Structure 1
Amino acid sequence: MALPLHVTIFCTVLKPCLIRLSSSFHCGSWRFVYENDLPPHYLIMSLILFSLMFPSTTKISQPISSVIQNTLLAWFVLAGLLMAFGYASEYIYIFPKASITLWLWLTPTLLIAATLGLRMAAPLLIKMQGPMRRAVIAGMNEQGLALAERLQRSHYHPTELQGFFEDRSVDRLNSELHYPILGRIDSMAEYVKEHHINTIYLSLPMASQPRIMKLLDDLKDTTASIYFVPDIFMTDLIQGRVDQVENIPVVSVCETPFTGFDGLLKRSADIAFSLLILILISPVLLAIAIGVKMSSPGPVIFKQRRYGLDGEEILVYKFRSMTVCEDGAKVTQATKNDQRTTKFGAFLRRNSLDELPQFINVLQGRMSVVGPRPHAVSHNEMYRKLIKGYMIRHKVKPGITGWAQVNGLRGETETLDKMKARIDYDIDYLRNWTPKLDMYIIYKTVSVVFTGEKNAY
């Protein structure tokens, strides 16, 4: 384990502080700090770590508490994985313990300090870039107003919004006109030239293509930068982002959050967590299996067809908690005081112990630890016709626990409104997924299990 490259650069500045730690350093660390002699294995690890952490998204616009929290969480995950790999491969013993200890606490400290330092220096850096850029927006519609609000609210964007150009009359605009209307769209080119506008944002509907083409033609006689603002409000975006297909730009409207490295991270976490849990609870699994067998006739494991990733059918495992094993065209949801539920089964359902075999589903790759809860196939076929966007929840693997469940939407959904609320939470999870959200859901699930859940029958 080694000092990352950005830490090695800062070491020359921090030498006075590091001198106090010198008595505990290994001779290799001593030579590095005082003689600037970087051994090859330090350099290799520094480059590897630098490539893992760079590039990174800017965090200066986030609240300070979020900056610190997100940095520490990301560092905890990365350092934990590297330490585990180091011990497994025994490469960790190449580096002295003093260097590893210094690296573990110094890196997040410097990352946070660098972000906060950039946050303080940002206004000065913006001023050094020259005068504020002047911008106008064509089209006073929902996305145009949203862009204007963000430009006005941002402290780190060197742009001053002059106003809007709009063809509609004031009484037709559904806004309180916090921004001036500078004229009609066909007068924009002249205004841009006269007032030395630097940036133009085109927030016009796609149906206005001839008008957009004429406007672009008029603006060729200016030096302003021109940006097209797509109508992101035409649909409810799920993981919306800009991508490229063979250098052709495309905009994602509905996409899974688990692509690229995020997908690898999610799957790795699922395997590691489920494997660890299955090893730890193996005696509990055996005891429950015996209890199910003694409670009523029938199999220990109940298998039911559910919809998985991309709507493909999968078999989901549960400890049998009822006297029946329904998996046909019609499946009746469990209700309060359901006569089909055994006494032991009620205990299992109340404490979510009947779900434990699904960690095997996670290892198989059919499910994830965290994700939308899988519904019976018959329920899917019914609700997809009643709830708009119902099937979007199947863009990710179903989970043992989910965002809806830790927000109280667990168990019976006897009304359409309750099911719709559950789906809203599932889609909200897809839209806002982060590793931190998964960890929070797991924490909340454990809390619910130990405190008991009244909605589980």
Structure 2
Amino acid sequence: MILSGKGRYSKYLRPISILFDILVITILPYYFFRELGVNQFYFGIYQLASWLIISYFSEFYEIYRYTTPIKIVSKIITQGVIFLLVVIAFFPFAKTTVFSGWAIAYYLMMAFTAIIIFKFVLFYYLKHYRVATGSNFRTAIIIGYSTQAIRLKELFEKRTDYGYRFFGFFSDKKINPEVIGRVSDIMDFALKNGIDEIYCSLNEINNTQLKDLVEFADANNKTIKFIPDSKDLFSKNLKIDYYEFFPVLSLRKTALHEPIAQVSKRIFDIVFSTLVVILLLSWLTPLLALLIKLESKGPVFFKQSRPGINEKEFFCYKFRSMQLNETTEQSVVKNDPRVTRIGKFIRKTSIDEMPQFLNVLRGEMSVVGPRPHLWSQNNLYSSRIKKYMVRLYVRPGITGLAQVRGFRGEISTDEDMINRIKYDVFYIENWSILLDIKIIIQTVVNIFQGDEKAY
């Protein structure tokens, strides 16, 4: 049986694996440590934070279709040893608890037995599922027709459990029946045939072609990897993977593409937004609702369709700051007659954005990230500004680096948008929790200082 679709459920496997591991290490202590006087809440928070931090640095969840079982075992051992030391370190600081080496040993033995079984069952099931059904595959092409390129193509055909479907070679230097086009044909071919991964022999293309190819991959969510050859390539954004003994160089994705980073950011978003909703929106909403209703007719909240992560549509919520009108796709300009008196105040102080914390809790937005643009702006600039589409690979934010650097409000020229995109891309490529906190603090400072572009 061959399935027609690619079956792209792989993106859910890491979150499922992380969730399973978290459930195991969270639930089992209630059974093994119940007679030791351990405060389960504090211990749960402590070990959850420790597990996520250790996993991030040990790359525990960096397992791909070409990862070997030996590599998986190595990751499990590293994670287990460090986590054991972290669990033991908790007891000297918890004076009311009784230290029991046997309880800790039983707990970790049971936890890692469950984690190992789940991980290997998932790993091997997926490999056999690809072979049996032809589903969950990735499509690939190779630039160049060298010995190394041919070896990679043969590896794709030999290791069907990797789940790759090879479409052909592209080359300006070699003529062969397997070479189906020139380098200049790649972009159109990749778009028409839904190519996922482009493998590039570096002695085949020049620097200009390489630059254009990388920009194309960024703009269209394609993965580009390099086949090492005689040309030297040094970059902090490159990492090396092995398909059996075949080395492949990959452009490193940003921190926000790592599972641990995504989980950490999501937890931060939920905790921060919950506090805002409880401590601020609970009393601010009825107050503003009264003021908005007294000044103008219409709903208290304004919702507008915006492009979210991967251009998925969502409705962005705000407190209504304008009179009811039909020009919802027109950006607000200075001294806009549509803005009400209370609207001027809440826009100046950015209070109108507060309902977006509900969008964060719904998983549609993040507290910090690239601001969601209007669909009209998205359609206009996605093809005009390089790397514009990169900002759509993450959740949009209530505030962002571009906003705290002064690039907000009306967009009158391409340069206004280009500056926003530069800061958005910088944020995505250099994300950290500390950067999020810094942006939030600067946002609060800007609210009290006032921003001339907030209108």
TM-score (norm 1): 0.50
Deviation at 1:207, TM superposition (A): 1.8
Larger Rg: 1
Instruction: Report what 2:203 is aligned to.
Output: 206
AA aligned to 1:395 is Y
AA aligned to 1:206 is N
Alignment check: 8 A CA contact 1:274 1:359 kept: yes
- What SS class does the counterpart of residue 207 from structure 1 fall into? coil
AA aligned to 2:388 is Y
Instruction: Report what 1:430 is aligned to.
Output: 428
What is the distance in 2 between the residues matched to 1:357 and 1:326?
22
Q: C-alpha offsets along residues 152-192 of structure 1, whole Å, 9 cap, x if unaligned?
A: xxxxxxxxxxxxxxxxxxxxxxxxxxxxxxxxxxxxxxxxx
Match 1:369 to one of 364, 367, 370: 367
Distance change >3 Å, CA 416–CA 326, structure 1 → 2: farther
What is the distance in 1 between the residues matched to 2:96 and 2:410?
53
Match 2:381 to one of 375, 383, 394: 383
What is the distance in 1 between the residues matched to 2:279 and 2:49?
32
Match 1:333 to one of 314, 331, 334: 331
Instruction: Report what 2:288 is aligned to.
Output: 288
What is the distance in 2 between the residues matched to 1:448 and 1:49?
31
5+ unaligned residues in a row in structure 1: which ranges? 1-38, 59-85, 100-203, 210-225
TM-score (norm 2): 0.50
Instruction: Report what 2:251 is aligned to.
Output: 252
Deviation at 1:385, TM superposition (A): 2.9
Deviation at 1:288, TM superposition (A): 1.1
- What SS class does the counterpart of residue 404 from structure 1 fall into? helix
Alignment check: 8 A CA contact 1:373 1:399 kept: yes
Instruction: Report what 2:405 is aligned to.
Output: 407
Structure 1 stretch displaced more, 385-394 or 305-314: 385-394
Deviation at 1:258, TM superposition (A): 3.7
Instruction: Report what 1:262 is aligned to.
Output: 261
What is the distance in 1 between the residues matched to 2:255 and 2:307?
16
What is the distance in 2 between the residues matched to 1:307 and 1:394?
8
Deviation at 1:278, TM superposition (A): 0.5
Deviation at 1:389, TM superposition (A): 1.8
Q: Does structure 1 residue 242 correspond to structure 2 residue 239? A: yes
Match 2:443 to one of 432, 442, 445: 445
AA aligned to 1:321 is S
Deviation at 1:456, TM superposition (A): 0.6
Alignment check: 8 A CA contact 2:52 2:260 kept: no
AA aligned to 2:411 is T
What is the distance in 2 between the residues matched to 1:265 and 1:424?
24
What is the distance in 2 between the residues matched to 1:335 and 1:415?
13
What is the distance in 1 between the residues matched to 2:50 and 2:343?
52
Distance change >3 Å, CA 451–CA 326, structure 1 → 2: farther
Distance change >3 Å, CA 269–CA 51, structure 1 → 2: closer
What is the distance in 1 between the residues matched to 2:95 and 2:398?
41
- What SS class does the counterpart of residue 257 from structure 1 fall into? helix
Instruction: Report what 2:344 is aligned to.
Output: 346
Q: C-alpha offsets along residues 34-58 of structure 1, whole Å, 9 cap, x if unaligned?
A: xxxxx9979x999988766558869
Aligned length: 259
What is the distance in 1 between the residues matched to 2:48 and 2:271?
23
- What SS class does the counterpart of residue 204 from structure 2 fall into? helix
AA aligned to 2:387 is G
Alignment check: 8 A CA contact 1:322 1:340 kept: yes
Distance change >3 Å, CA 56–CA 320, structure 1 → 2: closer
Deviation at 1:94, TM superposition (A): 9.2
Instruction: Report what 1:277 is aligned to.
Output: 276
Instruction: Report what 1:230 is aligned to.
Output: 233
Higher relative contact order (CA 8 A, sep 6+): 2
Alignment check: 8 A CA contact 1:322 1:341 kept: yes
Describe how 1:132-171 pairs up with structure 2 within 5 A.
none
Instruction: Report what 1:416 is aligned to.
Output: 414
Instruction: Report what 1:311 is aligned to.
Output: 311
AA aligned to 2:268 is A
Deviation at 1:449, TM superposition (A): 1.1
Instruction: Report what 1:355 is aligned to.
Output: 353
What is the distance in 2 between the residues matched to 1:299 and 1:449?
25
AA aligned to 2:278 is I
Distance change >3 Å, CA 206–CA 253, structure 1 → 2: farther
What is the distance in 2 between the residues matched to 1:283 and 1:93?
43
The CA RMSD over aligned residues, in Å, is: 3.9
Alignment check: 8 A CA contact 2:56 2:261 kept: no
What is the distance in 2 between the residues matched to 1:396 and 1:242?
22
Alignment check: 8 A CA contact 2:37 2:97 kept: no
Distance change >3 Å, CA 416–CA 265, structure 1 → 2: same
Structure 1 stretch displaced more, 295-304 or 385-394: 385-394
Q: C-alpha offsets along residues 174-226 of structure 1, whole Å, 9 cap, x if unaligned?
A: xxxxxxxxxxxxxxxxxxxxxxxxxxxxxx943279xxxxxxxxxxxxxxxx9
What is the distance in 2 between the residues matched to 1:264 and 1:335?
38
Alignment check: 8 A CA contact 1:306 1:315 kept: yes
Distance change >3 Å, CA 41–CA 273, structure 1 → 2: closer
AA aligned to 2:239 is V
What is the distance in 2 between the residues matched to 1:448 and 1:411?
14
Distance change >3 Å, CA 250–CA 341, structure 1 → 2: same
What is the distance in 2 between the residues matched to 1:311 and 1:40?
50
Q: C-alpha offsets along residues 4-27 of structure 1, whole Å, 9 cap, x if unaligned?
A: xxxxxxxxxxxxxxxxxxxxxxxx
What is the distance in 2 between the residues matched to 1:53 and 1:298?
48
AA aligned to 1:269 is F
AA aligned to 1:230 is L
Alignment check: 8 A CA contact 1:309 1:395 kept: yes
What is the distance in 1 between the residues matched to 2:233 and 2:312?
33
What is the distance in 1 between the residues matched to 2:204 and 2:339?
57
